[in-house]
Structure 1
Amino acid sequence: MFARQFRVRSNTAIKGSDRRKLKADISAAFPSLTADELTELVPNKEELNVVKIYAHKGDALTLYVLHKNPLFFELEKRLYPTVYVLWRYPALLPTFRTWPPVLQKLVGGADLMLPGVVVPSSGLPEVKRGDCCSVTLVNNRAPVAVGSAAVSSGEMRSLGMKGRGVCVLHAYMDNLWAFGDKSAPPSLPDAEGEGLEVNGEEYEADDIEEEEVEKCEEEEQEEQEEQERTPGAKVTNQARSGLEELSLAEQEEERGDGEEEANQDDLKMPQEIMDALLLRCFLHALKSKVKKSELPLLTSTFLRNHMFSCCPSGTQLDIKKSSYKKLSKFLQAMQKQHNLVRVRELTKGVESIVEVDWKNRELRYFKVPEETDDEASPAPDRGDGAEPPYRPPEITALYSVSSRLEPLFLDAKKRKGTILQPEEVRHIVTEYVKNNELVDENNKNYVTINPTLCDCLLEKSEYQEVESLKWDDLFSRALGRMQECYQVVYPGHAPIRKKGHMEPIDISVASRGSNKKVTLIKNLEVYGLDPAAVGTALQRRVQASSVLQPIPGSKDKVLVQIQGNQIHQVGNLLIDHYQIPRKYIQGLDKAPKGGKKK
């Protein structure tokens, strides 16, 4: 979040009442702090500043600064400590360890992947998904990053320590750290530094640091490639590459290293060609992606959700390689020279497209390229808000053979890790019972427990008591001791299999300024839904404004925010119109009690 420079909106001294409220909020968020420690963090007489900032993605945050060092930052009404606070209280948050080379990735904005986590002899800290946690380096307890847990500790272990572990928001040496006195982390000896494990195995640190970093990078790349196969993901491969190159180019420009001029001859795409590609993607996005009902539209959202998706295959849209260098300058040229759009600065650093001239000659005569006709969704009548047809994905529950149940499946030649459908599990268990003549002769509804079934399905306390089980109990115990998986098939795409549960669509209600309610919808992309189309459909249904916002810690997901408590309407839209099964929608129980019952 702070990998790039942020903009300061205001910097004021905190009031007495706000100081007391801040102290109460910190005590509630971090109950392990004592009264003396709270007073040390929020002193009664020393000057404490409240700094309002905008992150580079447009997120509005609040910083609390003491002695020129930021102590806490508030995001979506949740407090997070900075590394300056954690260096004084390193045990404030659950901690995950990693290797020193990983820190460079975290500073650049990457999340902590599970292959890079160093597991101590005491095991992983117990966290739930979304819990605030910190990251430390091997042999030093001083935290170097702060974020939220991407999954719970149990899911980390069940996933075999693969995937995303911590969604990093702030790290040592990022721009938030640079806003303070830029001090280095203290040296705090780690008592558990020796005998550490990486994914359950013991290694020498010098031999595996680079290996674990490579594993971490490979895991992140695999996750990105798998997400690219999801049709609802709004950031394509070209878009992601373009964003990464844009980030690197901006960092180089800020450092003033002048490498861009030195390597001018090595550029793969001259400015003239990139300018033409930029204009083509711009016109393509206006003609086939943007609807009148979406305006006003944040320029960052327009670039991420529309322009990048219009980039022809095999090319990468990189504004830094164009003559404009920045999106704002390009849009100003489109406004002044071509009169295609009208751009307005909503707040400092946050611009929005407020008007599009649909009758512009250049836009009217632009032809959508044939190679991307199947990806475009033309909307000749800009007032109807038509959206492309949607077909829900097919979701199938699967089960993976665990080590405990492997003896039960050996006769069927199914080893540990084999993924089966529930019907296959039932068939294999039934054949095992029949082949070993375990059906109770007196009552065919019961199965006699032999040593293999005893070891696989019974608890230790049941070994001497349970001699037989009903068929249904037998099947449920077998499935309950297997690793849950799922298969999702998006229309026109190959099946995708993953461990764990299918992430549900999350609907929640939050309060904004003046206690106004807003409804937030997350994880629409998981089901191949276009968040922009869902937001537009909700606008028509409830006659309230909706916006798309990036989700902190996620590079390719956005949430839909709509005014008021609209859970009933959102549920009806998802279940009736999009045919999403109710079991994959979370939060319907939070609807107003006076609403229409379904």
Structure 2
Amino acid sequence: MFKKRPEIKNLSPLRSSDRRKLADQIIKDYDIPIPSSSEPAPAGEASSSSSPPASLSSLRSSLLPDSTSSARFTTTSGPNQTLLVGTLYVGAHPGQEERILWFQAGKAARMLPTVYTLWQNPGVVPLLHTPDFVVDQKLAHGSDLMIPGLVKPRGAAWDARATKGAVVAVAGLQRDTVPMWVGTCDVDVTRLGSDLRGQRGVAVKGLHWAGDEAWGWRPLGSGGREAPDAIEGWQGLAEDMTGAIKDMKLDEDDADADGDADGGGVALSDNAASADPQQSRASDLAEVVDVPEPTTKEVDDAFIQAFLFSVHKAKADNSGPHFGFDFPLQPSFLISSMIQPYLRHQSPHYNIKKTSWKNAKKFIKHLDKMQLLKSKDRNGGRRPYPLPKPKASNADAAGESKPSAPDGADPSVGQNITIQVLYRASAKLVPTLLPSKTDFYSGAQIAAAVKTYIEQRPDLGGQGASSVKLDPFLANTVLNADASPQDNPHAADDRRALAAGRILRGALQRRVVDDPKLCQPFYSMVRGDNPSSDQPQPKPKSGAPPLIHLSIEKRTGTKVVTKITGLEPFFIDPQLVAPELQRKCAGAASVGQLTGGRPGLLEVVVQGDQRKIVVGDVLARRGIDARWVDVVDKTKGKKK
């Protein structure tokens, strides 16, 4: 979560009442036992049930010190750079400097601890263990903890709190009582059993670790505090594993004494060998530690064999389309899910940097040359294989023209959007002009209602007359000459009409529709090639229809960019528009969070003044009418 440095706003001190509430919520969420008070009440004073005991106060201060402050933060997380907004809680334990102790992220209200809090409060969350090279080479770089990487305490059960969704800490084998990594369980660890060989999948999803930006933050400068060598209070594992590995060593004298006189010994049966799964697990870890360093060719062969086995296993286990793969595959997915779990040895010697290719891109190109897969560049510019040509339809064979088919990668291309403007009548017009104030009416229906009202009253002007005589309903309800120009932009026209005693028919119809106090505007946006009344229509939304905003701006001197916002209401994904603009405009295009907008709204920025390409090509292909685009040129100077 904190692989990239978060943007932290100004810190503000927590009130004592808020700090106590947060601490009590933490105690409740993590089921932390409250130690009994060791200080008896002074003689002659009765203990008050309303005041918390001293032990509860000390526990609160240990979880959230008295000097705790809070601040909002924003960061991006995940492969899609999803925007994440949350709250940080900064405090200082006695004798230490201020550090980030807790954080809340996203919609989850649960407080999540950092390693600094875990070093100060042993046993707050379950502690799991994994080999040290997994901590140093995988977890410290933001990877998740896989099920085969877990190490279970010998002769003991998993911590009963390590259920699915629970917050857990992870430590290595060298410093087995020092949490170095924090995450949430993706599976129920308590049901994994003792023998983890052959099991696949993510065990714990990472949130924070010693070495990320939250660990390295401090009020002045940067740099985290080094972890201690051991922490009393956490359940260790090193002695159990050491004993398990030592149990596997057999002296020759003992073998001769217990076996035949010739020293031949007795071969263990399969059942005997698997009688102690934990000892078998220790054997696996011992093999990991003692694996000699392989040659580069051996590592290359292991990677290719792992890829072939993963494809074979996917084909055998999945009968659906694409055998469970979601194409195109990302390089990170290929390495983490198709190569790493199936390597012959889970050892630091077997990683992509030890191969002759050195990185995933060259490894994928090598697999392409071996005709094991097809590859393409991330930006879509180079494809080493021809794309299939679409089959000609009957309309093409007959020479008929038809709109271009939507791109497979972007469902918005070729879409047909219809925007219908509707109105809801106020109580002033019901029932004299319109029958209901809950129904929706189009502009044509309101104009027809005004026409019917006039025709039913011949004294107002009669059929065919260009102007209408004002009656009490029109003069007092429709027109409003007493309002200020801010409340009624038509106040001047209303005064002239009242003075003349008449108003034009067309002006009266427009006056009813344009006044939001008479007819509240709504809009309905329908997406589909053939929208019909039989299909369920979306509920109308209040207000005027949305617009796509194009802004031509200057950046850093004379550099001009085109910024596009408001694409989401029109079913357009900005992440898919940016690569198309980059190709068609031959310039850099980027997607980011809309400045000042709510989280999730994005803006696309492309170099140069590209309004013609954006409006006439990119948006037109997605069914956007030019009337729905608001273009503002901010590069021109203001008129004096």
Higher relative contact order (CA 8 A, sep 6+): 1
TM-score normalised per structure 2:
0.40
Which protein has the bigger strand share?
1
Name which one, 1 or 2, has greater alpha-carbon Rg: 2
